[in-house]
Amino acid sequence: MKQLVLRNTLYERIYRSLGVVCLVMVIIIILTGDSGEWPFWVQIIAMLLLGLAFLSLNFGTLVNRLTADKGELIIRWYTRPGRVIIGIHEIEEIIADETSVRIILKSGRTIRLPTGMLEFNEKRAVRKFLKETTGF
C-alpha cells in the first residue's frame, strides 16, 4: 500500500482560527449568559461542537489523501465529500496543469483534484505519486 498525505496549510489555519473564535464565544456566552434558561445551554453545546469541528479540520476531512492498494486508487480530497475509489485499470489518462489534476476514466468520467492552493512541491508530489502508481 502506497499513500500520499497532504495538508492544505492555508485552509488549516483558517479552520483552526475559526475553531478558536468559537471557543472564545463559548467563554463569552458563559460570562454574559443566564445559565437558568435552556437557550443558554443550546448555544454552549452548539458552539462547542462547532469549535471542535473546526479545530479538528472537520474531523479529518480537510486532509488530502491518495492511497494506492491492490489495484485501486482511493482519493480523499478536501473538495469531495467522502472518498472516491477507482480501479487503476479504469484510468485512461491523467492530465496535470497549474490549477488541477484531472483523472479521465475509460467511461468518460473526469475526476478533478484542485491543486491550485497547494505548494509547488506538494503539486509535484501528487503528480509523481499518480505517475508511480498508475503508470501515466
Question: What pLDDT score was predicted for residue 135?
Answer: 87
Q: What is the mean pLDDT of each run of 10 residues along the chain (136 residues)?
A: 87 91 95 92 95 87 89 89 92 93 95 89 93 90
Specify the pLDDT at position 42: 95
DSSP 22-80: HHHHHHHHHHHS-TTSHHHHHHHHHHHHHHHHHHTHHHHTTEEEEEEETTEEEEE-TTS
**Per the structure block, which three cell numbers stand in for 47?**
458552539
- Tell me which H or E stretch contains 2: strand 2-7
Q: What is the pLDDT of residue 47?
A: 96
Residue 14 parent element (H or E)? helix 9-32
**pTM of this prediction exceeds 0.85:** no
Determine the residue type at 98.
Answer: E
